[in-house]
A and B are shown apart, each in its own frame.
Chain A
């Protein structure tokens, strides 16, 4: 149905011509679901955009052909492509809010596609649009028809995007990271919806994702890409069960899964120095029963135009010294509000926070900036890029807390920055760089170096690896784990990724609607969940039997 032969794409950039995709061949048969898996920069999106002929101005197809049925897409005129897009081949994008026009009612946006491809007349458009909305299982499609994108949740927006993509019954759907940024339960619902619709309509699909388990679960055939090349392809069962290429093995290995320890995620778990360290860490891991942070009956209410919102309702917990506590919940559960209350970035409505036995709320949020305890409470942010000032170099970023909260002189500061850079594995040559000149993993390291600059006692990690590729995530998680042992820190690990929490935390709290609904040791909560919501969360994690036990860890799984 779709046949890509020897495709090569390059981009003209400031640093000369960069080859994004080289010599790619790929077949999609009718009714087949193909997954393209790879890390950022592997060329998977470029491939998708080439099929749709939506490359940026700087991009050009250097070689190869893309045949859709009998049409050579690369030779089509723009006019012909416009007829093909939407009617024959459709695309679902990563960020549904960005893909929808914010100032147009979603119903009209569906009508636009229908009328463009002459599927509806002015009279029938409304009826067809509502049918398209009900096809993606939106309750009350009549009401949603008249809504604007901002009035809908992320999951609803993605359903509308799918409704638009499928409105004209295309034969091929390209989904580019369709669930990245959505909550895990929403991800499950959206993926199952796509899967069901595709099967029902006998369409073909290309799923582009960085999540191996997701691809394994929903695709028949998987293609693994790296640096613009296909390194391996095969049907999804055999590919992940017996990966042939070293890169695929590395990816499979780095994916957090049940039964694998943190060290298993790294490429060379047999490294002597590493295993020695693992023993050291495990011996330190049991938390000493001295409470570092005690939170009692914490409440936060916001008053908005639409009424009072109870973001955090009566939350109490304790974090002990050298303990790592996971805080799990979906967006809107109050986990971010809780962490900013603990960091004294926001006032709490009522409740008590004791830090080392002293009331943390005895100074105002404003005065806390200069409080000596500020140094003890630090945070690593979700989006390293956003949390780094774009006008500061890595060195200026790391030195900032040292300059503000200590009295070190210039030389001491410089020495401390070098020391920190070494601790987090950041080459010193990168210290003069601005954040946009650093890779995702390097930015994460700068963020971590800044957070540990003052030897904090409690570090809040707000989804520190959510924006990272899986192999970088494995390295950063290990780094964080080692630093905790080395610097004797306690962690509050805020995340929606249950597998990561299982690896990183001693104890776990599950939060929903501002309340902690379940808590206990990580093993207990994630393996024998009591609360139905925790079970729902766990069930939503993409599972593929092959990935349960990675290739190198089959012997460990017994343990």
Chain B
């Protein structure tokens, strides 16, 4: 029988996942830069405590409000703590807050969005209206309210940031699931004996990931800004814990009198982190999307 079905098309070697990542990086230098920036952030987050030249909490009354120098690269603050050490150590906390908040909103948002998009009907109507209601609030004010009501802890900042981000994921995934629920591959998955839940979880949902990756990465940046904002206005992380938002808040009082380094350096760190995540999005999408593979 094979004589009738001989295949004349050439067989080319396929690409491995690693080769694909290397290709994405090489093709788009911005992605490469953003991944390098992310690597820097991760190394600092993990090893910040050992890298810091001074104890971030130790005050030194003999070296108060000193400008940047070779000993204190970023200067010292109003109680003589080394700003450089504090910026380094703060990285872990800020990244923790944003990664956890974003993961939480991604998981809950995907669940709600996938269910609403797949089954539709009254379930979709109810969920969508609830999410619309959340989106109708000024989101930062809502986050402030949640933290103020639940109490001033790191966990509550994470919950507040997660809650205000859920509607964005739910909406995006709802739309992506909706256009794919009756696609050819979903129908053939049903023919293969998959139950509806399996079709959704293993066939439709994974195909929605590429656009979600862009959202995820942008959101990490916003989450850091949000957490820093909450700390800045005094809700959230409490001093003397090193955290970029608090440090900017504390430093802001000294800018007028000329001690700019207290606010500027944690601000730059914040900017660096947010910028990294914003750049990361497209590259992350290309890596997750199997269709960009050769």
Interface residues of A, Cβ cutoff 8 Å to B:
14-15, 266, 271, 273-274, 277, 340, 343, 345, 366, 369-370, 374-375, 378-379, 381, 383, 385-391, 400-401, 404-405, 422-427, 429-430, 432-434, 436-437, 439, 441-442, 447, 450-451, 475, 478-479, 482, 486
Contacts and interface: CB of A to CB of B under 8 A. Distances in A.
Contacts of B190: 345, 369
Contact of A437 (B2, B203, B294): B294
Given A404-B193, A404-B194, A475-B4, A386 B14 contact: no
Contact of B11 (A386, A429, A434, A478): A429
Nearest to A383: B184
A383 B290 CA distance: 19
Contacts of A442: 7, 9
B193 A369 contact: yes
A401 B188 CA distance: 9
B203 A277 contact: no
Contact of B4 (A388, A422, A478): A478
A401 B206 contact: no
29 contacts: A14-B27, A15-B294, A266-B4, A271-B4, A277-B1, A345-B191, A375-B193, A378-B191, A381-B187, A381-B188, A386-B183, A386-B185, A387-B184, A387-B188, A389-B189, A391-B206, A400-B192, A401-B191, A401-B192, A425-B5, A434-B290, A434-B291, A436-B291, A439-B9, A450-B192, A475-B4, A482-B1, A482-B4, A482-B5
B28 interface: no
Interface in B204-229: 206-207
B3 interface: yes
B121 to A, nearest CB: 14
Please indicate which of the listed interface residues A370, A391, A450, A479 has the most CB atoms of chain B within 10 Å of its own CB. Answer: A391
Nearest to A387: B184
Interface in B27-80: 27
B143 to A, nearest CB: 35
A424 B290 CA distance: 25
B196 interface: yes
Contacts of A475: 4-5
For the complex of A and B, the 8 pairs showing the least CB-CB separation, nearest first, are A425-B5, A387-B184, A386-B184, A404-B193, A401-B192, A405-B193, A389-B185, A400-B192
Contacts, number: 113
Please indicate which of the listed interface residues B1, B198, B291 has the most CB atoms of chain A within 10 Å of its own CB. Answer: B1
A475 B2 CA distance: 11
Contacts of A439: 9
B290 A391 contact: yes
A405 B192 contact: yes
Interface in B154-194: 183-185, 187-194
B133 interface: no
B207 A390 contact: yes
Interface in B227-284: none
B2 A425 contact: yes
Contacts of A427: 7, 11
Contacts of B206: 391
B173 to A, nearest CB: 15
A404 B192 contact: yes
B183 A430 contact: no
Interface string B19-30: 000010001000
A447 B191 CA distance: 12
Contacts of A423: 1
Nearest to A472: B9
B3 A271 contact: yes
Contacts of B27: 14
Given A390-B290, A436-B291, A425 B193 contact: no
A398 B193 CA distance: 13
Given A369-B194, A374-B191, A427-B11, 5 more contacts: A386-B183, A404-B194, A423-B1, A424-B5, A447-B188
Nearest to B193: A404
Contact of B14 (A15, A370, A432): A432
A93 B291 CA distance: 26
Contacts of B4: 266, 271, 273-274, 277, 475, 478-479, 482
Contacts of A424: 5
Contacts of B188: 379, 381, 387-388, 447, 450
Contacts of A14: 23, 27, 294
A478 B192 contact: no
Please indicate which of the listed interface residues B184, B190, B195, B198 has the most CB atoms of chain A within 10 Å of its own CB. Answer: B184
A482 B198 CA distance: 34
B187 A486 contact: no
Contacts of B14: 432-433, 437
Contacts of B194: 369, 400, 404
B23 to A, nearest CB: 7
Contacts of B1: 277, 423, 482, 486
